[in-house]
Chains A and B, each alone.
Chain A
Amino acid sequence: MKSIQRIHGWGRYPIIEAEVNVPLVVSGVKSAVENCGADGLIARGLGRSYGDGSLASYVIDTRHLTHLLDFDKNTGIVTCNAGISLADILEVFVPLGWFLPVTPGTKHITLGGAVASDVHGKNHHVCGCFCDFVEHIELLVSPDNVLLCSNTSHSELFHATCGGMGLTGIILSVSFRLKPVSSAYIDQKTIKAVNITEALELFEQNYASTYSVAWIDCLATGSSLGRSLLMIGEHATDHSLSSPAKHAITVPVEMPSSLLNRYSIQLFNTLYYNRITKKEVANRVHYEPFFYPLDGIQHWNRLYGKNGFTQYQFVIPKEAGQEGMTKIVKEIAASGKGSFLAVLKVFGKQNDNLLSFPLAGYTLALDFKIEEGLFPLLDRLDAIVLDYGGKIYLTKDVRMSAPTFRQSYPRWEQFQGIREQNGTKGIFASYQSRRLGLDR
């Protein structure tokens, strides 16, 4: 099944026209790859990466490859087609007492996408990335060559594919370890930090907590610069594995982009920051609002209007910590841009995956609507980030320059070498890989 469609990432920028192939079986993936033209192709899942990483003029959409293939209830190792969503996995396995070992801020991504982005979550500081729990993947490098890759078999290709943005082939299936839980609920604690200094201190004090993340007000200035709400959590042990009924609300149409401006966001942020009046509040919440607060609002990306938006997520090493973070947050606050969805988190150590994003330090993610003057601001931020030895998350990126990429992802040459060795360079290519100079 194929058709010409207009597609975009979650940021709704850019919007391109592509031939979209939707195979129903693995053999369909092979023939779709065979029929691809000279321009190359990229695999695409639910289109939740923000930028242009899943965009190409020829796309293989894995959305219908959604079967669970194997499950060992003793070890919690599950094998699935790569197009299954994390939402579907949770729905099947939470009632059985299993949870995702690592989850990003939305469950509406595919398993293949989770591997290709080597996604991280609120437990990165203690558990690492998603791919650290992957046993093996089936990777199609060409129509007649499907390799089983793991830490021990084709391990170089494995470490290039985990976080490799689909540029080493098409992930057909993934086998990974679920984590046992005895409850669908999270014991959550919310702590107020008056500014960024206190926020970073609180992260350190709560380093032993399984989950930690902070919402940060990037528009506050002066002594309130970087005021935050730190949320920490542990799986509850109340043996309640059932879920309450869900009622998602939806943003039915594109909103006028002027709706989100400095004043409306400032108002939202002030209200949000002051939603708790005590220094610390503890409560028990279902895993959905804890991990996926925005999944409760379908199509929230339409809030940013017709020009779309981008999420800027960077990490800087711990040594640069407070100084670097303060400098960047100041720059953002002064610009008056920035959004109500800004997230601060401390990362644990970097893994062996060549293009994986996290490294030991602090990461900040924030949304900006696409508008005049935004990209120059982001270029200025890039310069500061690079100065401190940091980098930008490829899954969110839509505008980083090739030199910035090369400088901040020093293992890129090794990555290219593995692509060349396996003959996947030029065949699997996206708008992003071209922009970053990985493909022509």
Chain B
Amino acid sequence: MKKILIIGATSAIAEATAQRFAKEGASLYLLARNEERLTSLAADLKIRGASSAAYALLDVNDRVRYEEVLKEVVKTLGTIDVALVAHGTLGDQKACEDDVDRALLEFETNAVSTIALLTRLSNLFEKQHGGTIAVISSVAGDRGRPSNYVYGTAKAAITTFCEGLQARMFHSGVHVLIIKPGMVATPMTEGLSMPGFLVAEPDQIAADIVRAIEKKTDTLYTPWFWKYIMAGIIHLPSAVFKKENL
């Protein structure tokens, strides 16, 4: 029976992933802000086959609570097989351009909190000598684009941080997975105009994540074709890139 910790557990990708783990009979510990959603998610996961589904409220920007919350998690789960860090917000890029505080809050939620969490988690996993830390970054971190570069900057920070972590944790047998989803139909992206044929469902992403954890993949582009799209975007000469308004 796998022991799974999920941070940002009510995000659509996290829920779909949790449901897949539940089906295998996993024990889950869920952390998120939305109590109403957490309560029904926990019930849902148990019906889907989870051995247990505990949860606690956590606002990732409330960093002083990390120690206490993680202590409780360890008390409940014991050894953690998988920690999925899935929280995030897709702030309004335009609003972030006009309002410094807003831009910094986005960075705080998507990068600073994640770095703080990962620092604690990596020390925990190092002592365990095993397990997987899976972190949802984004293709948006591969190159800053005018449409979402504040979000992209935070994701780039996480990606780089995790690359370092990967190499460090390798020596203690801990697997660090960097997940880079492309466009996904979730409440976070609701109302954005996205080209339909590129948009994936959360469950497709979840299936890829579960597989990548099993196979101990380092970096997962999901769906797979984003690896090639991003390779193209990264290699566009900046003279062209600036004009394209991607």
Interface residues of A (CB under 8 A from B): 1-5, 20, 22, 24-27, 64, 66-71, 78, 81, 92, 252
Contacts and interface: CB of A to CB of B under 8 A. Distances in A.
Interface string B13-49: 0000000000100000000001011001101100110
Given A5-B191, A20-B191, A92-B47, A64 B40 contact: no
A99 B92 CA distance: 44
Contact of A1 (B23, B40, B48, B187): B187
A66 B197 CA distance: 24
Contact of A69 (B34, B36, B43): B43
B191 A25 contact: no
A45 to B, nearest CB: 15
A24 B12 CA distance: 10
Contacts of B187: 1, 22, 24, 64
Nearest to B16: A66
Contacts of A71: 47
A261 B158 CA distance: 55
Interface of B: 10, 12, 23, 34, 36-37, 40-41, 43-44, 47-48, 187, 190-191, 197
B44 A67 contact: yes
5 contacts: A1-B191, A4-B191, A24-B10, A92-B23, A92-B48
B12 A64 contact: yes
Contacts of A252: 197
A24 B190 CA distance: 12
A7 B175 CA distance: 43
A27 B47 contact: no
Nearest to B37: A25
Contact of B48 (A27, A64, A68): A68
Secondary structure class of chain B's binding surface, majority of residues: helix
Contacts of B12: 64
Given A3-B190, A22-B187, A92-B48, A68 B43 contact: yes
Interface centre among B12, B41, B187, B190 (most CB of A within 10 A): B190
B165 to A, nearest CB: 31
Q: Which A-B residue pairs are the 9 nearest by beta carbons?
A: A3-B191, A67-B44, A25-B36, A67-B40, A68-B47, A68-B44, A71-B47, A1-B190, A25-B37
B128 to A, nearest CB: 31
Nearest to A21: B190
Given A1-B187, A3-B190, A26 B36 contact: yes
Contacts of A3: 190-191
A90 to B, nearest CB: 13
Contacts of A67: 40-41, 43-44
Contact of A22 (B34, B36, B40, B190): B190
Contacts of B191: 1-5, 20
B44 A69 contact: yes
Contacts of B190: 1, 3, 20, 22
B210 to A, nearest CB: 15
Contacts of A24: 10, 34, 37, 187
A5 B190 CA distance: 10
B211 to A, nearest CB: 14
Nearest to A71: B47
A24 B34 CA distance: 9
Given A67-B40, A68-B48, A70-B47, 17 more contacts: A1-B187, A1-B190, A3-B191, A20-B190, A22-B187, A24-B37, A24-B187, A25-B34, A25-B37, A27-B36, A66-B44, A67-B43, A67-B44, A68-B43, A69-B40, A69-B43, A78-B47
A196 to B, nearest CB: 40
A4 B190 CA distance: 10
Contacts of B37: 24-25
Nearest to A96: B49
Nearest to A84: B44
A81 B190 CA distance: 20
Contacts of A64: 12, 187
Q: Please indicate which of the listed interface residues B23, B44, B48 has the most CB atoms of chain A within 10 Å of its own CB.
A: B44
Nearest to A69: B43
B40 A81 contact: yes
Contacts of A70: 43, 47
